[in-house]
Copies of this chain bind each other. A is one copy, B any other.
């Protein structure tokens, strides 16, 4: 469970409701984490049951009442303990496109180029969104901002690599493989 600590972390500085938590997670962790209501609402309920959070309802004119959650001392302790623990090994870059790319030699090059082009404009969009997001941040010396900067750098590397890969492919530097998977004998 890690959404648990993301929630506790966000609640350190401010009381929040589920909908808002999702927005913040998307803004601040969006390039590494996706949050959906199917996780957030049950997590909040569970966190409340475990007495890490308390909840109060704020009536709203045109929507269901907001459920504002506050972190308890017990919750703060849980969070700080986690913060001081060693993170698990980690790093996992999951991009369905990258899973596919190594196999492009088995398919047709024209289609592969199309897919790469889709990907290039996707990442172009991501990059723009991230740069906008960064320029909106006020505090320059914050931890969150540093992570956002990393996100942009990683995005740029991906983008440049895509362009490079496209070039290699269109110049036929990549062999259509009927057996390109370098296997040392078993």
Contacts and interface: CB of A to CB of B under 8 A. Distances in A.
B144 A180 contact: yes
Binding site secondary structure of chain A: helix
A118 B175 contact: no
A169 to B, nearest CB: 9
Interface stretch (A9-17, A36-44, A48-56): A9-17
Contact of A147 (B28, B80, B101, B173): B101
A94 B32 contact: yes
Interface in A154-171: 154, 157-158, 161, 164-165, 168
Interface residues of A, number: 83
A180 B142 contact: yes
Interface in A164-186: 164-165, 168, 173-175, 177-183, 186
A147 B126 CA distance: 20
Interface of A: 2, 5-6, 9-10, 12-14, 16, 20, 24, 28-29, 31-34, 79-80, 82-84, 86-108, 111, 115, 118-119, 122-123, 126, 137-139, 141-144, 146-147, 149-151, 153-154, 157-158, 161, 164-165, 168, 173-175, 177-183, 186
